[in-house]
Structure 1
Protein backbone atom coordinates (compact mmCIF):
# COMPACT_ATOMS: atom_id res chain seq x y z
CA UNK A 1 0.00 0.00 0.00
CA UNK A 2 1.28 3.46 -0.92
CA UNK A 3 0.26 6.32 1.35
CA UNK A 4 -0.62 9.77 0.05
CA UNK A 5 -2.78 12.76 0.86
CA UNK A 6 -5.76 13.39 -1.37
CA UNK A 7 -7.64 16.56 -2.34
CA UNK A 8 -7.46 19.30 -1.17
CA UNK A 9 -3.83 18.50 -0.31
CA UNK A 10 -2.36 21.68 1.22
CA UNK A 11 -4.22 24.11 -1.04
CA UNK A 12 -6.90 24.89 1.57
CA UNK A 13 -4.25 26.98 3.32
CA UNK A 14 -4.00 30.49 1.86
CA UNK A 15 -0.47 31.29 3.04
CA UNK A 16 2.57 30.03 1.14
CA UNK A 17 4.55 29.37 4.32
CA UNK A 18 1.72 27.34 5.82
CA UNK A 19 1.56 25.13 2.71
CA UNK A 20 5.31 24.59 2.87
CA UNK A 21 5.18 23.59 6.54
CA UNK A 22 2.25 21.24 6.11
CA UNK A 23 3.74 19.53 3.06
CA UNK A 24 6.97 18.91 4.99
CA UNK A 25 5.04 17.57 7.98
CA UNK A 26 3.02 15.20 5.78
CA UNK A 27 6.13 13.88 4.10
CA UNK A 28 8.01 13.42 7.36
CA UNK A 29 5.03 11.59 8.88
CA UNK A 30 4.70 9.25 5.89
CA UNK A 31 8.43 8.51 6.02
CA UNK A 32 8.20 7.73 9.74
CA UNK A 33 5.24 5.44 9.14
CA UNK A 34 7.27 3.54 6.53
CA UNK A 35 10.11 3.17 9.03
CA UNK A 36 7.71 1.93 11.70
CA UNK A 37 6.29 -0.74 9.37
CA UNK A 38 9.16 -1.64 7.02
CA UNK A 39 8.17 -3.32 3.80
CA UNK A 40 4.43 -2.80 4.28
CA UNK A 41 3.96 0.74 3.01
CA UNK A 42 5.25 3.11 0.39
CA UNK A 43 4.70 6.84 0.25
CA UNK A 44 4.08 9.63 -2.24
CA UNK A 45 5.32 13.08 -1.29
CA UNK A 46 3.09 16.14 -1.12
CA UNK A 47 4.33 19.40 -2.67
CA UNK A 48 3.43 22.98 -1.66
CA UNK A 49 2.04 23.78 -5.10
CA UNK A 50 1.80 26.00 -7.02
CA UNK A 51 4.95 27.44 -5.42
CA UNK A 52 7.82 26.30 -7.61
CA UNK A 53 11.00 27.05 -5.64
CA UNK A 54 9.59 25.52 -2.47
CA UNK A 55 8.35 22.46 -4.38
CA UNK A 56 11.81 21.89 -5.85
CA UNK A 57 13.29 21.93 -2.36
CA UNK A 58 10.66 19.45 -1.16
CA UNK A 59 11.28 17.10 -4.09
CA UNK A 60 14.97 16.87 -3.23
CA UNK A 61 14.30 16.45 0.48
CA UNK A 62 11.61 13.80 0.05
CA UNK A 63 13.70 11.71 -2.35
CA UNK A 64 17.16 12.17 -0.83
CA UNK A 65 16.41 12.36 2.88
CA UNK A 66 13.12 10.51 3.23
CA UNK A 67 13.37 7.95 0.44
CA UNK A 68 9.77 8.37 -0.70
CA UNK A 69 8.53 6.50 -3.75
CA UNK A 70 7.04 9.26 -5.87
CA UNK A 71 4.81 12.31 -5.75
CA UNK A 72 1.10 12.98 -5.67
CA UNK A 73 -0.01 16.06 -7.60
CA UNK A 74 -3.53 17.44 -7.85
CA UNK A 75 -5.06 18.17 -11.23
CA UNK A 76 -4.87 21.89 -10.51
CA UNK A 77 -3.50 24.13 -7.80
CA UNK A 78 -5.23 27.45 -7.28
CA UNK A 79 -6.67 27.03 -10.77
CA UNK A 80 -3.25 26.45 -12.36
CA UNK A 81 -3.25 23.29 -14.48
CA UNK A 82 -0.26 21.03 -14.96
CA UNK A 83 0.66 22.13 -18.47
CA UNK A 84 1.19 25.69 -17.24
CA UNK A 85 4.70 26.89 -18.24
CA UNK A 86 5.25 28.16 -14.70
CA UNK A 87 5.23 24.54 -13.45
CA UNK A 88 7.72 23.29 -16.05
CA UNK A 89 10.70 23.40 -13.62
CA UNK A 90 8.87 20.99 -11.31
CA UNK A 91 8.27 18.48 -14.07
CA UNK A 92 11.85 18.95 -15.22
CA UNK A 93 13.18 18.09 -11.78
CA UNK A 94 10.87 15.09 -11.48
CA UNK A 95 11.97 13.96 -14.93
CA UNK A 96 15.61 14.06 -13.78
CA UNK A 97 14.54 11.81 -10.92
CA UNK A 98 12.68 9.37 -13.23
CA UNK A 99 9.79 9.98 -10.86
CA UNK A 100 6.44 8.28 -10.64
CA UNK A 101 3.61 10.80 -10.33
CA UNK A 102 0.20 9.89 -9.00
CA UNK A 103 -2.34 12.37 -10.29
CA UNK A 104 -5.34 13.06 -8.09
CA UNK A 105 -8.33 15.16 -9.13
CA UNK A 106 -9.64 18.13 -7.29
CA UNK A 107 -12.37 20.67 -7.92
CA UNK A 108 -11.83 23.29 -10.62
CA UNK A 109 -11.65 26.95 -9.65
CA UNK A 110 -15.12 27.50 -11.14
CA UNK A 111 -16.70 24.72 -9.08
CA UNK A 112 -19.08 26.99 -7.17
CA UNK A 113 -20.59 28.06 -10.51
CA UNK A 114 -20.88 24.63 -12.13
CA UNK A 115 -21.21 22.18 -9.23
CA UNK A 116 -25.01 22.51 -9.00
CA UNK A 117 -24.79 22.05 -5.25
CA UNK A 118 -23.36 18.52 -5.52
CA UNK A 119 -20.00 17.41 -4.25
CA UNK A 120 -17.00 17.52 -6.58
CA UNK A 121 -16.14 13.78 -6.70
CA UNK A 122 -19.48 13.03 -8.37
CA UNK A 123 -18.65 14.67 -11.68
CA UNK A 124 -15.95 17.34 -11.57
CA UNK A 125 -13.18 15.00 -10.37
CA UNK A 126 -13.38 12.76 -13.47
CA UNK A 127 -13.59 15.83 -15.70
CA UNK A 128 -10.67 17.62 -14.05
CA UNK A 129 -8.49 14.57 -14.60
CA UNK A 130 -9.14 14.76 -18.34
CA UNK A 131 -8.75 18.55 -18.32
CA UNK A 132 -5.26 18.50 -16.83
CA UNK A 133 -4.08 15.54 -18.96
CA UNK A 134 -5.15 17.44 -22.08
CA UNK A 135 -3.13 20.38 -20.78
CA UNK A 136 -0.09 18.16 -20.17
CA UNK A 137 -0.30 16.58 -23.61
CA UNK A 138 -0.68 19.80 -25.59
CA UNK A 139 2.00 21.58 -23.56
CA UNK A 140 4.39 18.81 -24.66
CA UNK A 141 5.26 18.10 -21.03
CA UNK A 142 5.29 14.35 -21.66
CA UNK A 143 7.48 14.78 -24.74
CA UNK A 144 10.00 16.92 -22.84
CA UNK A 145 9.89 14.71 -19.75
CA UNK A 146 10.03 11.21 -21.18
CA UNK A 147 11.31 9.68 -17.93
CA UNK A 148 8.12 10.44 -16.01
CA UNK A 149 5.65 7.71 -15.16
CA UNK A 150 2.19 9.18 -14.67
CA UNK A 151 -0.64 7.28 -12.96
CA UNK A 152 -4.22 8.46 -13.48
CA UNK A 153 -6.85 7.42 -10.91
CA UNK A 154 -10.43 6.30 -11.45
CA UNK A 155 -9.71 4.66 -14.82
CA UNK A 156 -8.62 8.06 -16.14
CA UNK A 157 -11.92 9.74 -15.33
CA UNK A 158 -13.74 10.67 -18.52
CA UNK A 159 -10.50 10.59 -20.52
CA UNK A 160 -10.87 7.12 -22.14
CA UNK A 161 -14.41 7.96 -23.29
CA UNK A 162 -13.28 11.13 -25.07
CA UNK A 163 -9.76 10.08 -26.14
CA UNK A 164 -10.71 9.54 -29.78
CA UNK A 165 -12.56 12.86 -29.82
CA UNK A 166 -9.46 14.61 -28.51
CA UNK A 167 -7.33 12.88 -31.12
CA UNK A 168 -9.74 13.80 -33.91
CA UNK A 169 -9.63 17.49 -32.98
CA UNK A 170 -5.94 17.65 -32.09
CA UNK A 171 -4.61 18.57 -35.59
CA UNK A 172 -6.94 21.57 -35.91
CA UNK A 173 -5.23 24.99 -36.12
CA UNK A 174 -7.27 26.22 -33.16
CA UNK A 175 -5.55 23.79 -30.77
CA UNK A 176 -3.42 25.64 -28.21
CA UNK A 177 -0.53 26.11 -27.92
CA UNK A 178 -0.05 24.12 -31.14
CA UNK A 179 -1.77 21.29 -33.04
CA UNK A 180 -0.57 17.70 -32.69
CA UNK A 181 -1.19 14.67 -34.84
CA UNK A 182 -3.97 12.31 -33.76
CA UNK A 183 -1.53 9.42 -33.62
CA UNK A 184 0.83 11.31 -31.33
CA UNK A 185 -1.97 12.14 -28.90
CA UNK A 186 -3.17 8.54 -28.69
CA UNK A 187 0.39 7.28 -28.24
CA UNK A 188 0.92 9.62 -25.29
CA UNK A 189 -2.37 8.60 -23.66
CA UNK A 190 -1.55 4.92 -24.11
CA UNK A 191 1.77 5.52 -22.35
CA UNK A 192 0.07 6.59 -19.12
CA UNK A 193 -0.86 4.30 -16.26
CA UNK A 194 -4.43 3.99 -14.99
CA UNK A 195 -5.77 2.70 -11.70
CA UNK A 196 -9.22 1.23 -11.05
CA UNK A 197 -10.21 3.05 -7.88
CA UNK A 198 -14.02 3.33 -7.92
CA UNK A 199 -13.87 2.10 -11.52
CA UNK A 200 -13.38 -1.66 -11.62
CA UNK A 201 -16.88 -2.33 -12.97
CA UNK A 202 -17.18 -4.05 -16.36
CA UNK A 203 -18.59 -1.14 -18.44
CA UNK A 204 -15.91 1.32 -17.27
CA UNK A 205 -13.14 -1.24 -17.65
CA UNK A 206 -14.25 -2.13 -21.18
CA UNK A 207 -13.93 1.52 -22.22
CA UNK A 208 -10.56 1.90 -20.49
CA UNK A 209 -9.02 -1.09 -22.25
CA UNK A 210 -9.85 0.45 -25.64
CA UNK A 211 -7.19 3.05 -24.75
CA UNK A 212 -4.80 1.62 -22.18
CA UNK A 213 -2.76 -1.56 -22.62
CA UNK A 214 -3.53 -4.06 -19.87
CA UNK A 215 0.09 -3.70 -18.74
CA UNK A 216 -0.66 -0.06 -17.83
CA UNK A 217 -3.71 -0.77 -15.62
CA UNK A 218 -3.52 -1.31 -11.86
CA UNK A 219 -5.87 -1.80 -8.92
CA UNK A 220 -6.63 1.22 -6.72
CA UNK A 221 -8.92 1.58 -3.72
CA UNK A 222 -9.36 5.23 -2.63
CA UNK A 223 -9.16 3.90 0.93
CA UNK A 224 -9.83 5.42 3.46
CA UNK A 225 -11.61 8.27 1.67
CA UNK A 226 -14.16 5.85 0.22
CA UNK A 227 -16.46 4.07 2.67
CA UNK A 228 -15.42 0.49 3.34
CA UNK A 229 -18.52 -0.85 1.61
CA UNK A 230 -17.63 1.00 -1.60
CA UNK A 231 -14.07 -0.29 -1.50
CA UNK A 232 -15.30 -3.84 -0.98
CA UNK A 233 -17.74 -3.52 -3.88
CA UNK A 234 -15.02 -2.21 -6.18
CA UNK A 235 -12.70 -5.10 -5.29
CA UNK A 236 -15.53 -7.57 -5.87
CA UNK A 237 -16.21 -5.96 -9.25
CA UNK A 238 -12.52 -6.29 -10.13
CA UNK A 239 -12.46 -9.98 -9.24
CA UNK A 240 -15.53 -10.50 -11.43
CA UNK A 241 -14.16 -8.71 -14.51
CA UNK A 242 -14.65 -10.75 -17.66
CA UNK A 243 -12.48 -10.97 -20.73
CA UNK A 244 -9.23 -11.39 -18.80
CA UNK A 245 -6.98 -14.41 -18.49
CA UNK A 246 -5.77 -15.39 -15.00
CA UNK A 247 -2.36 -13.97 -15.91
CA UNK A 248 -3.88 -10.65 -16.98
CA UNK A 249 -5.90 -10.49 -13.77
CA UNK A 250 -2.73 -11.04 -11.73
CA UNK A 251 -0.94 -8.40 -13.76
CA UNK A 252 -3.54 -5.75 -12.95
CA UNK A 253 -3.79 -6.84 -9.32
CA UNK A 254 -0.04 -6.92 -8.65
CA UNK A 255 2.59 -7.35 -11.33
CA UNK A 256 2.02 -4.09 -13.20
CA UNK A 257 2.51 -2.10 -9.99
CA UNK A 258 5.64 -4.04 -9.11
CA UNK A 259 7.21 -2.99 -12.40
CA UNK A 260 6.77 0.62 -11.31
CA UNK A 261 7.96 -0.08 -7.76
CA UNK A 262 10.34 -3.05 -8.06
CA UNK A 263 11.73 -2.65 -4.54
CA UNK A 264 8.39 -3.90 -3.17
CA UNK A 265 8.96 -7.14 -5.05
CA UNK A 266 12.38 -7.46 -3.45
CA UNK A 267 10.95 -6.83 0.01
CA UNK A 268 8.19 -9.37 -0.60
CA UNK A 269 10.72 -11.92 -1.75
CA UNK A 270 12.84 -11.39 1.34
CA UNK A 271 9.77 -11.77 3.58
CA UNK A 272 8.84 -14.98 1.80
Structure 2
Protein backbone atom coordinates (compact mmCIF):
# COMPACT_ATOMS: atom_id res chain seq x y z
CA UNK A 1 0.00 0.00 0.00
CA UNK A 2 1.42 3.39 -1.03
CA UNK A 3 -0.05 6.57 0.41
CA UNK A 4 2.98 8.82 0.48
CA UNK A 5 3.63 11.86 -1.65
CA UNK A 6 0.48 11.79 -3.78
CA UNK A 7 -0.16 14.51 -6.32
CA UNK A 8 -3.82 15.51 -6.07
CA UNK A 9 -5.06 16.85 -9.41
CA UNK A 10 -8.59 17.45 -8.11
CA UNK A 11 -8.32 19.75 -5.11
CA UNK A 12 -10.29 22.97 -4.83
CA UNK A 13 -9.79 26.30 -3.17
CA UNK A 14 -12.37 28.81 -1.98
CA UNK A 15 -10.75 32.27 -1.87
CA UNK A 16 -12.26 34.42 0.90
CA UNK A 17 -13.59 37.20 -1.34
CA UNK A 18 -15.01 34.66 -3.76
CA UNK A 19 -16.76 32.88 -0.89
CA UNK A 20 -18.41 36.17 0.13
CA UNK A 21 -19.49 36.75 -3.47
CA UNK A 22 -21.05 33.29 -3.71
CA UNK A 23 -22.87 33.66 -0.40
CA UNK A 24 -24.20 37.07 -1.45
CA UNK A 25 -25.60 35.37 -4.55
CA UNK A 26 -27.10 32.55 -2.49
CA UNK A 27 -25.21 29.94 -4.53
CA UNK A 28 -24.75 26.40 -3.19
CA UNK A 29 -22.34 24.70 -5.63
CA UNK A 30 -23.52 21.24 -6.53
CA UNK A 31 -26.46 21.67 -4.17
CA UNK A 32 -24.29 21.77 -1.04
CA UNK A 33 -23.13 24.53 1.26
CA UNK A 34 -19.92 26.27 0.31
CA UNK A 35 -17.18 24.72 2.46
CA UNK A 36 -14.68 26.72 4.44
CA UNK A 37 -11.12 26.66 3.12
CA UNK A 38 -7.69 28.06 3.90
CA UNK A 39 -4.15 27.13 2.86
CA UNK A 40 -3.43 25.90 6.38
CA UNK A 41 -6.56 23.73 6.42
CA UNK A 42 -5.57 22.30 3.03
CA UNK A 43 -2.08 21.46 4.26
CA UNK A 44 -3.48 19.76 7.36
CA UNK A 45 -5.81 17.71 5.18
CA UNK A 46 -3.01 16.75 2.79
CA UNK A 47 -0.67 15.75 5.61
CA UNK A 48 -3.35 13.40 6.89
CA UNK A 49 -4.02 11.78 3.52
CA UNK A 50 -0.59 11.14 2.05
CA UNK A 51 -0.78 14.08 -0.36
CA UNK A 52 2.44 15.92 -1.13
CA UNK A 53 1.02 18.44 -3.62
CA UNK A 54 -2.48 19.66 -4.37
CA UNK A 55 -3.21 21.26 -7.75
CA UNK A 56 -5.79 23.87 -6.77
CA UNK A 57 -8.75 24.84 -8.93
CA UNK A 58 -11.92 26.85 -8.58
CA UNK A 59 -15.02 24.68 -8.68
CA UNK A 60 -18.41 25.37 -10.20
CA UNK A 61 -19.98 27.88 -10.78
CA UNK A 62 -16.78 29.66 -11.86
CA UNK A 63 -16.92 33.39 -12.46
CA UNK A 64 -19.27 34.00 -15.40
CA UNK A 65 -22.83 35.13 -14.61
CA UNK A 66 -23.70 36.94 -17.80
CA UNK A 67 -21.36 39.92 -17.34
CA UNK A 68 -18.07 39.45 -19.23
CA UNK A 69 -16.33 42.41 -17.59
CA UNK A 70 -17.25 41.14 -14.12
CA UNK A 71 -16.02 37.65 -15.02
CA UNK A 72 -12.69 39.04 -16.23
CA UNK A 73 -12.16 40.96 -12.99
CA UNK A 74 -12.93 37.95 -10.85
CA UNK A 75 -10.82 35.54 -12.93
CA UNK A 76 -7.82 37.85 -12.59
CA UNK A 77 -8.31 38.28 -8.84
CA UNK A 78 -8.71 34.56 -8.23
CA UNK A 79 -5.72 33.61 -10.37
CA UNK A 80 -3.45 36.16 -8.73
CA UNK A 81 -4.61 35.07 -5.28
CA UNK A 82 -4.00 31.40 -6.12
CA UNK A 83 -0.60 32.14 -7.65
CA UNK A 84 0.31 33.78 -4.33
CA UNK A 85 -0.68 30.63 -2.44
CA UNK A 86 1.51 28.56 -4.75
CA UNK A 87 4.44 30.96 -4.47
CA UNK A 88 4.33 30.54 -0.70
CA UNK A 89 4.54 26.73 -0.91
CA UNK A 90 5.45 25.61 -4.45
CA UNK A 91 6.26 22.12 -3.18
CA UNK A 92 2.77 21.69 -1.71
CA UNK A 93 0.56 23.55 -4.17
CA UNK A 94 0.04 24.08 -7.87
CA UNK A 95 -2.92 25.58 -9.69
CA UNK A 96 -5.23 25.42 -12.65
CA UNK A 97 -6.14 28.95 -13.73
CA UNK A 98 -9.75 30.08 -13.96
CA UNK A 99 -10.99 31.50 -17.27
CA UNK A 100 -14.07 33.41 -18.41
CA UNK A 101 -15.93 31.13 -20.83
CA UNK A 102 -18.24 31.59 -22.65
CA UNK A 103 -16.34 34.90 -23.09
CA UNK A 104 -13.67 33.54 -25.45
CA UNK A 105 -11.74 36.79 -25.87
CA UNK A 106 -11.46 37.18 -22.11
CA UNK A 107 -10.53 33.52 -21.74
CA UNK A 108 -7.68 33.85 -24.25
CA UNK A 109 -6.34 36.94 -22.49
CA UNK A 110 -6.50 35.32 -19.07
CA UNK A 111 -5.01 32.03 -20.27
CA UNK A 112 -2.03 33.86 -21.76
CA UNK A 113 -1.51 35.84 -18.54
CA UNK A 114 -1.97 32.86 -16.24
CA UNK A 115 0.30 30.50 -18.15
CA UNK A 116 2.89 33.07 -19.20
CA UNK A 117 3.10 35.40 -16.20
CA UNK A 118 1.65 33.56 -13.22
CA UNK A 119 3.20 30.21 -14.23
CA UNK A 120 -0.05 28.32 -13.75
CA UNK A 121 0.28 24.56 -14.03
CA UNK A 122 -2.72 24.45 -16.34
CA UNK A 123 -6.26 25.63 -16.89
CA UNK A 124 -9.60 24.60 -15.38
CA UNK A 125 -12.64 24.65 -17.65
CA UNK A 126 -16.22 23.91 -16.68
CA UNK A 127 -17.82 21.17 -18.75
CA UNK A 128 -20.56 23.55 -19.85
CA UNK A 129 -20.41 27.31 -19.99
CA UNK A 130 -23.78 29.03 -20.10
CA UNK A 131 -25.13 25.81 -21.60
CA UNK A 132 -22.42 25.43 -24.25
CA UNK A 133 -20.17 22.37 -24.14
CA UNK A 134 -16.46 22.38 -24.92
CA UNK A 135 -16.84 21.02 -28.44
CA UNK A 136 -18.84 24.13 -29.37
CA UNK A 137 -17.33 25.64 -32.56
CA UNK A 138 -17.22 29.04 -30.87
CA UNK A 139 -14.65 27.74 -28.38
CA UNK A 140 -12.20 26.63 -31.08
CA UNK A 141 -9.88 29.67 -30.74
CA UNK A 142 -9.30 28.77 -27.09
CA UNK A 143 -8.80 25.08 -27.87
CA UNK A 144 -6.28 25.96 -30.56
CA UNK A 145 -4.39 28.22 -28.14
CA UNK A 146 -4.31 25.49 -25.49
CA UNK A 147 -3.20 22.93 -28.09
CA UNK A 148 -0.38 25.19 -29.28
CA UNK A 149 0.73 25.68 -25.67
CA UNK A 150 0.53 21.91 -24.97
CA UNK A 151 -1.53 22.91 -21.94
CA UNK A 152 -2.98 20.68 -19.27
CA UNK A 153 -6.71 21.32 -18.86
CA UNK A 154 -8.76 20.07 -15.94
CA UNK A 155 -12.40 19.63 -16.99
CA UNK A 156 -14.76 20.01 -14.03
CA UNK A 157 -18.54 19.66 -14.20
CA UNK A 158 -20.77 22.69 -13.92
CA UNK A 159 -24.43 22.91 -13.10
CA UNK A 160 -26.30 20.87 -15.70
CA UNK A 161 -28.30 23.17 -18.03
CA UNK A 162 -31.52 21.46 -17.03
CA UNK A 163 -34.01 21.71 -14.16
CA UNK A 164 -32.89 20.29 -10.84
CA UNK A 165 -34.73 17.30 -9.39
CA UNK A 166 -36.16 18.26 -6.00
CA UNK A 167 -34.41 16.46 -3.17
CA UNK A 168 -31.43 15.27 -5.24
CA UNK A 169 -28.24 17.37 -4.96
CA UNK A 170 -26.81 18.11 -8.38
CA UNK A 171 -23.40 16.68 -7.45
CA UNK A 172 -24.95 13.22 -7.09
CA UNK A 173 -25.59 12.50 -10.78
CA UNK A 174 -25.94 15.76 -12.75
CA UNK A 175 -22.23 16.51 -12.36
CA UNK A 176 -21.33 13.15 -13.87
CA UNK A 177 -23.65 13.67 -16.83
CA UNK A 178 -22.24 17.14 -17.42
CA UNK A 179 -18.69 15.80 -17.73
CA UNK A 180 -19.91 12.97 -19.95
CA UNK A 181 -21.70 15.37 -22.26
CA UNK A 182 -18.62 17.54 -22.75
CA UNK A 183 -16.37 14.54 -23.41
CA UNK A 184 -18.75 13.34 -26.12
CA UNK A 185 -18.98 16.88 -27.47
CA UNK A 186 -15.20 17.05 -27.80
CA UNK A 187 -15.15 13.69 -29.59
CA UNK A 188 -18.02 14.25 -32.02
CA UNK A 189 -16.92 17.81 -32.87
CA UNK A 190 -13.52 16.50 -33.97
CA UNK A 191 -11.72 18.55 -31.32
CA UNK A 192 -9.95 15.50 -29.86
CA UNK A 193 -8.43 14.74 -33.26
CA UNK A 194 -7.73 18.36 -34.13
CA UNK A 195 -6.19 19.46 -30.83
CA UNK A 196 -4.30 16.46 -29.43
CA UNK A 197 -1.76 18.72 -27.75
CA UNK A 198 -4.20 19.46 -24.92
CA UNK A 199 -3.88 17.11 -21.95
CA UNK A 200 -7.51 16.88 -20.81
CA UNK A 201 -8.16 15.56 -17.31
CA UNK A 202 -11.79 14.54 -16.80
CA UNK A 203 -13.05 14.88 -13.23
CA UNK A 204 -14.61 12.01 -11.27
CA UNK A 205 -13.28 9.24 -13.53
CA UNK A 206 -14.90 10.87 -16.54
CA UNK A 207 -18.43 10.78 -15.16
CA UNK A 208 -20.31 8.08 -17.05
CA UNK A 209 -17.77 7.88 -19.90
CA UNK A 210 -16.16 4.53 -18.98
CA UNK A 211 -19.49 2.86 -18.23
CA UNK A 212 -21.10 4.00 -21.50
CA UNK A 213 -17.98 3.69 -23.66
CA UNK A 214 -19.64 1.33 -26.13
CA UNK A 215 -22.67 3.62 -26.41
CA UNK A 216 -20.22 6.37 -27.31
CA UNK A 217 -18.72 4.05 -29.92
CA UNK A 218 -22.13 3.38 -31.43
CA UNK A 219 -22.84 7.12 -31.51
CA UNK A 220 -19.56 7.73 -33.30
CA UNK A 221 -20.35 5.05 -35.82
CA UNK A 222 -23.99 6.00 -36.33
CA UNK A 223 -23.01 9.57 -37.18
CA UNK A 224 -21.28 8.02 -40.19
CA UNK A 225 -24.23 5.77 -41.02
CA UNK A 226 -22.28 2.76 -39.81
CA UNK A 227 -24.37 1.68 -36.84
CA UNK A 228 -24.87 -1.85 -38.18
CA UNK A 229 -21.14 -2.17 -38.79
CA UNK A 230 -20.52 -1.18 -35.18
CA UNK A 231 -22.90 -3.84 -33.88
CA UNK A 232 -21.21 -6.45 -36.08
CA UNK A 233 -17.82 -5.37 -34.77
CA UNK A 234 -18.93 -5.71 -31.17
CA UNK A 235 -20.62 -9.04 -31.78
CA UNK A 236 -17.89 -10.82 -33.75
CA UNK A 237 -14.56 -9.39 -32.62
CA UNK A 238 -15.07 -9.48 -28.85
CA UNK A 239 -12.27 -6.98 -28.41
CA UNK A 240 -11.91 -3.27 -27.77
CA UNK A 241 -12.58 -1.54 -31.10
CA UNK A 242 -9.94 0.85 -32.36
CA UNK A 243 -12.51 3.66 -32.40
CA UNK A 244 -12.47 3.63 -28.60
CA UNK A 245 -8.82 4.74 -28.67
CA UNK A 246 -10.07 8.33 -28.49
CA UNK A 247 -11.18 7.68 -24.92
CA UNK A 248 -7.58 6.83 -24.06
CA UNK A 249 -6.54 10.35 -25.05
CA UNK A 250 -8.30 11.66 -21.97
CA UNK A 251 -6.80 11.64 -18.52
CA UNK A 252 -9.11 10.67 -15.66
CA UNK A 253 -8.89 11.46 -11.96
CA UNK A 254 -10.31 9.11 -9.32
CA UNK A 255 -11.91 11.78 -7.11
CA UNK A 256 -15.02 10.29 -5.43
CA UNK A 257 -14.68 7.43 -7.92
CA UNK A 258 -12.32 4.92 -6.33
CA UNK A 259 -15.01 2.44 -5.37
CA UNK A 260 -14.95 -1.27 -6.31
CA UNK A 261 -17.91 -0.50 -8.58
CA UNK A 262 -16.33 2.41 -10.48
CA UNK A 263 -12.67 1.41 -10.76
CA UNK A 264 -13.18 -1.67 -13.00
CA UNK A 265 -14.97 0.42 -15.64
CA UNK A 266 -12.29 3.10 -15.52
CA UNK A 267 -9.42 0.61 -15.74
CA UNK A 268 -11.09 -1.12 -18.68
CA UNK A 269 -11.20 2.09 -20.71
CA UNK A 270 -8.44 4.48 -19.60
CA UNK A 271 -4.81 4.35 -20.61
CA UNK A 272 -2.97 3.19 -17.45
CA UNK A 273 -0.66 6.20 -17.82
CA UNK A 274 -3.65 8.56 -17.87
CA UNK A 275 -5.17 8.04 -14.42
CA UNK A 276 -4.42 10.46 -11.59
CA UNK A 277 -5.23 10.69 -7.91
CA UNK A 278 -7.92 13.17 -6.85
CA UNK A 279 -9.59 13.99 -3.54
CA UNK A 280 -12.19 16.73 -4.30
CA UNK A 281 -11.31 18.43 -1.00
CA UNK A 282 -12.85 20.55 0.53
CA UNK A 283 -16.16 19.81 -1.22
CA UNK A 284 -15.53 16.20 -0.25
CA UNK A 285 -14.94 16.42 3.51
CA UNK A 286 -11.96 14.68 5.05
CA UNK A 287 -13.96 11.68 6.41
CA UNK A 288 -15.37 10.98 2.94
CA UNK A 289 -11.89 11.12 1.42
CA UNK A 290 -10.61 8.80 4.17
CA UNK A 291 -13.35 6.28 3.36
CA UNK A 292 -12.75 6.40 -0.41
CA UNK A 293 -8.99 6.21 0.04
CA UNK A 294 -9.51 2.98 1.96
CA UNK A 295 -11.55 1.48 -0.86
CA UNK A 296 -8.85 2.57 -3.31
CA UNK A 297 -6.02 1.18 -1.18
CA UNK A 298 -7.81 -2.15 -0.79
CA UNK A 299 -8.52 -2.49 -4.51
CA UNK A 300 -6.23 -5.11 -6.11
CA UNK A 301 -3.76 -3.06 -8.15
CA UNK A 302 -0.15 -3.83 -8.97
CA UNK A 303 2.25 -1.76 -6.89
CA UNK A 304 3.61 0.03 -9.94
CA UNK A 305 0.10 0.88 -11.14
CA UNK A 306 -0.87 2.32 -7.75
CA UNK A 307 2.35 4.32 -7.62
CA UNK A 308 1.61 5.66 -11.11
CA UNK A 309 -1.87 6.79 -10.09
CA UNK A 310 -0.67 8.26 -6.82
CA UNK A 311 2.19 10.22 -8.33
CA UNK A 312 4.02 8.93 -11.39
CA UNK A 313 1.41 9.79 -14.02
CA UNK A 314 1.08 13.33 -12.64
CA UNK A 315 4.84 13.83 -12.64
CA UNK A 316 4.72 13.39 -16.41
CA UNK A 317 2.01 16.05 -16.69
CA UNK A 318 3.70 18.43 -14.24
CA UNK A 319 7.47 17.93 -14.66
CA UNK A 320 8.29 20.60 -12.06
CA UNK A 321 6.94 18.23 -9.39
CA UNK A 322 9.14 15.33 -10.38
CA UNK A 323 11.42 13.93 -7.73
Of 270, 295, 298, which residue of structure 2 is paired with 1:240?
298
1:150-161 equivalence runs, <5 A:
150-161=200-211
Residue 251 (str. 1) matches residue 308 (str. 2):
yes
Residue 102 (str. 1) matches residue 161 (str. 2):
no
- Give, in angstroms, the shift of residue 69 of structure 1: 0.5
Q: Given that residues 95 and 146 in structure 1 are in contact (C-alpha distance below 8 angstroms), is that contact kept between their aligned partners in structure 2?
A: yes
* Structure 1 residues 2-51: Cα deviation after superposition (integer angstroms, max 9, x where no partner): 0110111113x331111110011111011111111132211100001100
Q: Given that residues 137 and 185 in structure 1 are in contact (C-alpha distance below 8 angstroms), is that contact kept between their aligned partners in structure 2?
A: no
Residue 318 (structure 2) aligns with:
261
Residue 4 (structure 2) aligns with:
none
1:26-41 equivalence runs, <5 A:
26-41=78-93
TM score, norm. by length of structure 2:
0.77
- Give, in angstroms, the shift of residue 174 of structure 1: 7.3
Please give the root-mean-square deviation of Cα atoms over the aligned residues, in Å. Answer: 1.7
- Give, in angstroms, the shift of residue 168 of structure 1: 2.1
* Structure 1 residues 88-115: Cα deviation after superposition (integer angstroms, max 9, x where no partner): 0000001111000000011222134xx2
Q: Given that residues 44 and 70 in structure 1 are in contact (C-alpha distance below 8 angstroms), is that contact kept between their aligned partners in structure 2?
A: yes
TM score, norm. by length of structure 1:
0.91
Of 262, 268, 273, which residue of structure 2 is paired with 1:215?
273
Q: State the alpha-carbon separation in 1 of the partners of residues 271 and 203 from structure 2.
A: 15
* Structure 1 residues 102-131: Cα deviation after superposition (integer angstroms, max 9, x where no partner): 00011222134xx24421101110111111
Residue 178 (structure 1) aligns with:
none
Q: State the alpha-carbon separation in 2 of the partners of residues 219 and 173 from structure 1.
A: 34
- Give, in angstroms, the shift of residue 191 of structure 1: 1.5
Residue 126 (structure 1) aligns with:
176
Q: State the alpha-carbon separation in 2 of the partners of residues 43 and 259 from structure 1.
A: 16
RCO comparison, higher one (Cα < 8 Å, 6+): 2
Secondary structure of 2:120's counterpart equals coil
Q: How many residues were matched structurally?
A: 258
Q: State the alpha-carbon separation in 1 of the partners of residues 287 and 130 from structure 2.
A: 32
Moved over 2 A (4+): 181-185
Residue 3 (structure 1) aligns with:
56
Q: State the alpha-carbon separation in 1 of the partners of residues 255 and 132 from structure 2.
A: 25
Residue 142 (str. 1) matches residue 192 (str. 2):
yes
Secondary structure of 2:262's counterpart equals helix
Secondary structure of 2:154's counterpart equals strand
Residue 52 (structure 1) aligns with:
104
Secondary structure of 1:95's counterpart equals helix
Which residues of structure 2 form unaligned runs of 5+? 1-53, 234-240
Q: State the alpha-carbon separation in 1 of the partners of residues 113 and 155 from structure 2.
A: 20
Q: State the alpha-carbon separation in 1 of the partners of residues 296 and 77 from structure 2.
A: 35
78-87 or 230-239: which moved more?
230-239
Q: Given that residues 72 and 101 in structure 1 are in contact (C-alpha distance below 8 angstroms), is that contact kept between their aligned partners in structure 2?
A: yes
